[in-house]
Amino acid sequence: MKKISISYLDTISGLGRSAEIWSHYQRAAPNFDGLEAIGGINISADVEKDFKIFLKDRPDLKKLDRSVCFLIFQAQKFIAVDFDRLETGLNVASSRGATGLFEMYLKDFLESKTSSTAVLSSPTTTLGNLSSFLAHELGLSGFEMSHSITCSSALHAVVNAVAWIESGRTDQFVVGASEAANTPFTIAQMRALKVYSKELNSEFPVRSMDLEKKKNTMVLGEGSGLMLLKCGEQSDARAYINGLGFASESVEHPAALSARAECFQKSMKKALEDFGEESVDVIVMHAPGTVRGDQAEFHAVEDVFGDILPALTSNKWMLGHTLGASGLLSLEMAVLMLENQKFIANPFYKCNLPEEINSVMVNAVGFGGNAVSVILTKA
């Protein structure tokens, strides 16, 4: 595959904004303030404060969902980046899209005596409004789309962007992902699947990569991110995409994986073939904090890499599971390790530290067994 540069990357999450997130990773200090009351991990208090100030100055965003507003809030920083907006494509990923707004409109409809709903209930809750409003904010006029492939949505957006660049139709592509799904009905859905943590007040409620745990410990998080991909070597590159793999598997249950995650085995092998190497230095695991999900992915890594495993880590024990945005947040973690040449460890999984970090694989998988593996190398 062509070498693809990550020339811009900005996220917001429970750990804050990109500029400060490295220090949080170094302290390994997740922020679970209010988790028991909220039921999920929201963006950090500092970012929330700035976000509310921004929304106060933008009354035109009042009718848009929080997930869309996240992206437009981040776009204010991205606007200053110099790139050709006429030819740049855009793909925004989300598992749930306008979750809060959809739930509000549905509640109002069910309680309405006239069975009516608000005029803008459809255009502001369809998935496409994520990309359309962001494209307008950034002044883009190229190809734009939104999509959901559940929890692997962000990495599938990367797959799409790379395909466009390799086709020669564009040299640049914006990848976005946003999730603001910490809502009563969505959390109830996760609890119905019996994958949600019952110990929200514990020190580390999300025991991602704890392979000895006996209970599911997934907790939802919210966050979003924007990334600019360019073709070839670039002076502003933060890292390069040098391998890409994707695969799916037949599943017996809509939310299950096979015991050794065959889809991950296939996606990792394809990415390694692209990369032209047999191994990588680090893998950022999908590891949602469920018993079977974490174990299945680990067994897939064992089957692909044998006795000499790369260093393994994850970030959901701090960020929660940000669903469709999670892959982009994992990519950021990979970029930070490549830039700083320092491994970010997971407290529940012990491994040998890599002497150098020249390559990092990032995994994600969604309901239905759709897996993606992306390999990054340092700039």
Strand locations in 51-203, DSSP E? 89-93, 144-147, 172-179
Q: Work out the average pLDDT over 336-343.
A: 98
Exposed, middle or buried: residue 23 (CB in 10 Å: 0-12, 13-18, 19+)?
A: exposed
Local confidence band at 360 (pLDDT 50, 70, 90 cut-offs): very high
pLDDT at site 125 = 96
Whole-Å CA distances, 58 to 10, 99, 151, 268, 270:
21, 21, 30, 43, 45
In this predicted structure, the answer to whether residue 291 has a pLDDT above a threshold of 90 is yes
111 vs 253, higher pLDDT: 111
User: Kindly report the CA angle at 164 between 162 and 169, in degrees rounded to 5?
Assistant: 140
In angstroms, the CA 285 to CA 297 distance is: 8
In angstroms, the CA 292 to CA 259 distance is: 7
pLDDT at site 316 = 97
Residue 2 burial (CB count, 10 A) = 11
User: For residue 41, what are the β-bridge partners?
Assistant: 221
Q: What is the pLDDT of residues 200-232, one digit of tens each?
A: 988 889 999 999 999 999 999 999 999 999 999
In this predicted structure, the answer to whether residue 275 has a pLDDT above a threshold of 70 is yes
Local confidence band at 88 (pLDDT 50, 70, 90 cut-offs): very high
- CA quadruple 296, 299, 301, 307: dihedral, nearest 10: 170
pLDDT at site 256 = 67
In this predicted structure, the answer to whether residue 29 has a pLDDT above a threshold of 80 is no
Dihedral over Cα of 118, 185, 319, 95: its sign: negative
User: Kindly report the CA angle at 32 between 210 and 201, in degrees rounded to 5?
Assistant: 70
Q: What is the pLDDT of residues 166-180, one digit of tens each?
A: 999 999 999 999 999
Contact 117, 105 (CB under 8 A): yes
In angstroms, the CA 299 to CA 128 distance is: 37
Q: Which of 378, 331, 337, 359 is nearest to 275 (CA)?
A: 359
In this predicted structure, the answer to whether residue 254 has a pLDDT above a threshold of 80 is no
Locate the domains of the chain by residue range: 4-378
CATH of domain 4-378: 3.40.47.10
Pairing of strands 359-366, 370-378: antiparallel
Q: Which of 303, 363, 316, 365 is nearest to 344 (CA)?
A: 316
Q: Which two tokens stand for residue 328?
A: 């982009």
Q: Work out the average pLDDT over 92-118.
A: 93
Question: Across the chain, what does the average pLDDT equal?
Answer: 95
* Strand (E) or helix (H) holding 70: helix 66-78
Q: What is the pTM of this model?
A: 0.96
**DSSP result, 2-42:** --EEEEEEEEEETTEEHHHHHHHHHHT----TTHHHHSSBP
Q: Which two tokens stand for residue 243?
A: 């391998």
Say whether 355 sits in a helix, a strand or coil.
Answer: coil
In this predicted structure, the answer to whether residue 90 has a pLDDT above a threshold of 70 is yes
Q: Work out the average pLDDT over 259-270.
A: 96
